[in-house]
Each structure stands twice: as structure tokens, then as C-alpha cells.
């Protein structure tokens, strides 16, 4: 539109200036953390701090391994996020099928309860969640972090809505007449048709679990069970914090999602904005 006239008018400059500044402010901290991960402590604390990539990455990496079992912690994060994601994709779809394919007494009550539970703010659940985990003897286990999310209201709701909009009940009837059991219908007929919704649930769950801090904070206590977020936070309070190492660890902890975002930005943005209903 207005770009056609190549005259760099004041408004165009203002427009693009505004956008460019926004982008720069957005990416600056990422560039900054990557740079800091490559400097010694002395360089970081010199004034002015170095705004270029240093050559101390390997030393910082050594220090990082000294202050936390980085790869173990990364592995823990990966396990928690993967198990929770697979579980959620499967069980949310399964429950969604239950709400979609059947008419039964009490369905509306359960469905209503489910929708209502999406409104409960996470903070309110903090203490109850801790208590349940404690009663079940699940304190300091990864299970307690990923399991409660595998049949979450948001995921079920999302998949169920998708089923309603994309699968006709005639199709289910046809499959039934061919002698399919309901599980068989779910597995071979419905699942292939709801892949986009499953992808959305998977993306939201994986990112949520990878970045999760609150439940690890109140559930995990032994350092070898820590996930990335918790481990990084725990080295923050060290005396003489080796900032180069901490910044390197922080950067590495963000890297998997950043790389994934490079390839799947559309899906991730669509999924997370749809998933935002959960808050």
C-alpha cells in the first residue's frame, strides 16, 4: 500500500522505526545472554561490559558442569516434558472422544465441571496440589510434575471442540456398523482426523512443562531430580555467582525451544494463542 511510493516520508520512517525498535528490544536480551555466556567473570564485570562474543565459552562450560549437573538436569526436563506431552496428547484425545461420541447421564455435569475448572487460577491450586502430592507420597518425583497434566481440562476441551467441528457422527455410525469397537473407532478413525488439535495440545504441553517452574519448586527437593528452571534458579544465589556459566546455562536451556520455534513458528504461535484460554 503506502510502501509503493518509495519516498521516505516522515510517517514511513516513524512506522518502520517503531517496528525496528520493537524488534531490537525483543531480541536484545537473547543476544546479550549468548554474549555473556562467552565471557569470563572479570570481563562481564568490567565497565563498559563487552558487547561482542568472547572466547571463554569452553571455560564457562566447565564451570557450568561444576555448579550443576547440566546434562542430567536437561535430561530431567526433557523426560518430564516428553512424558507429559505424550500422555496429554493421548489421554486428552481419549477423554474428548468420550465427551464427543457418547450421550450419557451426567455428561453435562461432568463437562460443565471441566469447563469450570479451567477458570480456577493456578495460584489457588498451589497448596492443594502440594497436599495431594504429599498424601500420595509423590514428593520429589518427576511423576508428580507431569502426571497431573495428562488429562487436563483445556486439552480435552480443545480436542473435543475440534472433533465437533470436523467429524460427523455419521462417520462414527458407519464405523460402528462395520463392527468397530469404540476404542477401535477412536484409534483408527478419529485419531488420524484430529491430528491438528493433537499437535496444538502437544505444543502447549511441551512448552508449558519445559518452562514450568512452580510445580518443580514445590515438589522437587533433591538436586539430581531438578529440572532446568529449578537448577538455574538455584545457582543464582551462589556467593560469587559465576555469571558467565549461569548465562551460558540459561542460553542453552532456551535453545531447544528457540530452535523448534525457528521451524514451527506458525504452529507454535497458533497453538499457544489457542492454548491461552488456559491462562
Partner 1 sequence: MSDQALSPAPRSAETSHPPLPETHFIRPPKKRGRRLFNSLQPWLFISPFIIIFCLFTLFPLTFSVYLSFQEWNPVTGLSGMNYVGVQNYVEAYDDPWLWKSLYNTFWLAIVSGVPQHLIAVPVAYLLVYAVRSSLRHVLTATMFIPFITSTVAVALIFYSIYSANTGILNQMLLGASKLPLIGALFAWVPDVMPIKWLTKSDLIKPAIAAVVIWKYTGFNIVIYSAGFVTVPQDVYDAAKVDGCNRLQQFWHVALPMIRPFIFFAMTLTIIGNLQLFEEPFILTSGDTGGVGQAGLTTSYYLYLVGWEWLEMGAAAAISWILFLIIAIATSIHFYFNGRKGMEGNR
Other beta carbons within 10 angstroms of residue 276's beta carbon come to 10
Q: Is 60 exposed, middle or buried, given 0-12, 13-18 or 19+ CB atoms closer than 10 A? A: buried
Using CB under 8 A, count the residues that bind partner 1: 103
First to last CA, the chain: 36
Task: Give the Cα separation of 50 and 55 in Å (integer).
Answer: 12
Asked if residue 46 binds partner 1 (CB under 8 A), the reply is: yes
Give least dist CB 55 to partner 1, A.
20
Q: Select the span of 53-61, 65-73, 131-139, 193-201 touching partner 1 (CB under 8 A).
A: 131-139
C-alpha to C-alpha distances, 66 to 62, 242, 243, nearest whole angstrom? 6, 10, 13
Asked if residue 117 binds partner 1 (CB under 8 A), the reply is: yes
Asked if residue 47 binds partner 1 (CB under 8 A), the reply is: yes
Kindly report the length of the chain. 279
Write the secondary structure of 169-232 as one string of H (helix), E (strand) and C (coil): HHHHHHHHHCCCCHHHHHHHHHHHHCHHHHHHHHHHHHHHHHHCCHHHHHHCCCHHHCCHHHHH
Report the residue from 53, 61, 143, 261 that binds partner 1 according to the rule CB under 8 A: 261
Q: Are 157 and 238 in contact (CB under 8 A)?
A: no
Q: Select the span of 60-68, 78-86, 187-195, 268-276 touching partner 1 (CB under 8 A).
A: 268-276
Other beta carbons within 10 angstroms of residue 199's beta carbon come to 16
Asked if residue 86 binds partner 1 (CB under 8 A), the reply is: no
Asked if residue 23 binds partner 1 (CB under 8 A), the reply is: yes
For partner 1, give the closer residue by CB, 65 or 131.
Answer: 131
Binding track over 196-235 against partner 1, x by CB under 8 A? -----------x--xx-xx---x---------xxx-xx--
Q: Select the span of 19-27, 53-61, 66-74, 194-202 touching partner 1 (CB under 8 A).
A: 19-27
Asked if residue 17 binds partner 1 (CB under 8 A), the reply is: no
Give least dist CB 95 to partner 1, A.
4
| Biggest CA pair distance of the chain | 77
Asked if residue 83 binds partner 1 (CB under 8 A), the reply is: no
Cell numbers found for residue 202 = 502437544
Give least dist CB 156 to partner 1, A.
6
Report the residue from 6, 8, 10, 25 that binds partner 1 according to the rule CB under 8 A: 25
Task: Give the Cα separation of 111 and 119 in Å (integer).
Answer: 13
Give least dist CB 175 to partner 1, A.
10
Report the residue from 13, 18, 112, 166 that binds partner 1 according to the rule CB under 8 A: 18
Other beta carbons within 10 angstroms of residue 241's beta carbon come to 14
Give least dist CB 99 to partner 1, A.
6
Asked if residue 9 binds partner 1 (CB under 8 A), the reply is: no
Asked if residue 167 binds partner 1 (CB under 8 A), the reply is: no
Task: Give the Cα separation of 176 and 178 in Å (integer).
Answer: 5
Give least dist CB 65 to partner 1, A.
18
Amino acid at each position: 500500500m503506502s510502501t509503493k511510493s518509495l519516498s521516505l516520508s516522515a510517517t514511513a520512517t516513524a512506522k518502520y522505526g517503531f517496528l525496528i525498535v520493537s524488534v531490537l528490544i525483543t531480541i536484545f536480551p537473547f543476544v546479550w545472554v549468548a554474549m555473556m555466556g562467552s565471557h569470563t567473570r572479570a570481563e562481564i564485570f568490567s565497565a563498559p561490559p563487552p558487547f561482542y562474543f568472547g572466547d571463554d565459552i569452553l571455560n564457562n562450560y566447565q564451570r557450568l558442569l561444576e555448579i550443576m549437573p547440566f546434562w542430567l538436569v536437561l535430561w530431567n526436563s526433557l523426560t518430564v516434558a516428553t512424558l507429559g506431552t505424550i500422555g496429554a496428547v493421548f489421554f486428552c484425545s481419549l477423554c474428548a472422544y468420550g465427551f464427543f461420541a457418547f450421550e450419557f447421564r451426567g455428561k453435562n455435569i461432568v463437562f460443565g465441571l471441566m469447563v469450570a475448572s479451567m477458570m480456577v487460577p493456578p495460584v489457588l491450586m498451589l497448596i492443594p496440589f502440594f497436599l495431594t502430592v504429599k498424601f500420595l507420597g509423590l514428593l520429589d518425583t518427576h511423576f508428580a510434575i507431569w502426571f497431573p497434566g495428562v488429562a487436563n481440562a483445556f486439552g480435552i476441551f480443545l480436542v473435543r471442540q475440534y472433533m465437533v467441528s470436523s467429524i460427523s457422527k455419521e462417520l462414527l455410525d458407519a464405523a460402528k456398523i462395520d463392527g468397530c469397537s469404540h476404542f477401535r473407532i477412536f484409534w483408527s478413525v478419529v485419531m488420524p482426523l484430529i491430528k491438528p488439535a493433537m499437535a496444538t495440545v502437544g505444543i502447549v504441553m511441551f512448552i508449558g512443562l519445559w518452562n514450568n517452574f512452580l510445580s518443580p519448586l514445590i515438589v522437587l527437593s533433591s538436586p539430581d531430580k531438578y529440572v532446568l528452571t529449578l537448577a538455574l534458579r538455584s545457582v543464582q544465589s551462589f556467593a560469587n555467582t559465576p555469571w558467565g556459566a549461569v548465562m551460558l546455562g540459561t542460553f542453552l536451556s532456551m535453545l531447544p525451544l528457540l530452535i523448534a520455534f525457528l521451524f514451527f513458528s506458525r504452529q507454535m504461535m497458533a497453538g499457544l494463542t489457542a492454548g491461552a484460554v488456559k491462562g
